[in-house]
Amino acid sequence: MAIYKRFFAQIYDPVVYDFEKSLFAKRRALLSNLKGTVLGVGEGTGINFKFYPKEIDVIAVEPSKAMLKKARKKNKYGNISFHNLGINDPELDNIIEERSIDAIVCTLVLCTISDPEKALLNFKKWLKPNGKLIVLEHIHATKQINKAFQNFVNPVWKVFADGCNLNRNTDLLINEAGFVPVKEEYFKRALRFYSGIFELKESN
């Protein structure tokens, strides 16, 4: 597993580059106005770093040592502290104070986290009252036949794609957790995508 994780980190940038380029404008639109203290969830190889404004403080959380090593090399854009942890690891509560985070960035990561509901609960704890959740994610298909195909291939896909789920209802999970969109967008690339900026409902 550790060997596969190292291999995955090595091939990640070259394999996803063409696809990634098609998402750069979306990343820029979501990330370039961030302010204050930002939590980067599963920063991977650090693709987001070049879109972050230089003056923000970033807490970058990433459980794969191999990915984190790649991300550290891209740290020429700003003030970033690195933590080799998963987002639901209890150690994070010693690093992140309650209601201290201005924005939480989840790009292509809510598909992979093993307990996304718990992660969303943590986000609610860490975000300031007007804090923002920033999301860019591929999600479940809508057509029944495509959905059935995603469900069929997901167990194999997940093994080769380092835990990524093709068929997750991330849009619904965000809503059920009590977040409301400031803006949201459904769009298509090779898969169906969902992106947006979210705040907590006042009752939360």
Ligand X SMILES: C[S@@+](CC[C@H](N)C(=O)[O-])C[C@H]1O[C@@H](n2cnc3c(N)ncnc32)[C@H](O)[C@@H]1O
Residue 45, Cβ density class (10 Å: 0-12 exposed, 13-18 middle, ≥19 buried):
buried
Q: What are phi and psi of 76, to 5 degrees?
A: -120, 15
Among 38, 59, 87, 127, binds ligand X (CB under 6 A): 87
Amino acid at 43: E
109 scored as a contact of ligand X (CB under 6 A): yes
- Shortest distance, position 20 Cβ to ligand X, whole Å: 7
Which of residues 34, 52, 107, 150 is near ligand X by CB under 6 A?
107
Q: Which of 30, 37, 39, 44 binds ligand X (CB under 6 A)?
A: 44
Our finding on whether 62 is near ligand X (CB under 6 A) is yes
Strand partners, 81: 59
Residue with Cβ nearer ligand X (125 or 201): 125
The whole-angstrom separation of Cα 108 and Cα 89 is 19
What DSSP assignment string belongs to 32-99?
TT--SEEEEES-TTTGGGGGS-TTSEEEEE-S-HHHHHHHHHT--SSEEEEE---TT-TTHHHHS-TT
Which 152-191 positions form the footprint of ligand X (CB under 6 A)? 163-164
Choose between 76 and 143: whose C-beta lies nearer to ligand X.
76
Answer for which of 30, 31, 39, 42 binds ligand X (CB under 6 A) is: 42
127 DSSP assignment: E
Which of 82, 86, 137, 168 is the binder for ligand X (CB under 6 A)? 86
The single residue among 31, 47, 58, 101 that binds ligand X, judged by CB under 6 A, is 47
Give the residues lining the site for ligand X (CB under 6 A).
Answer: 41-44, 47-48, 61-64, 67, 86-88, 107-109, 112-114, 163-164
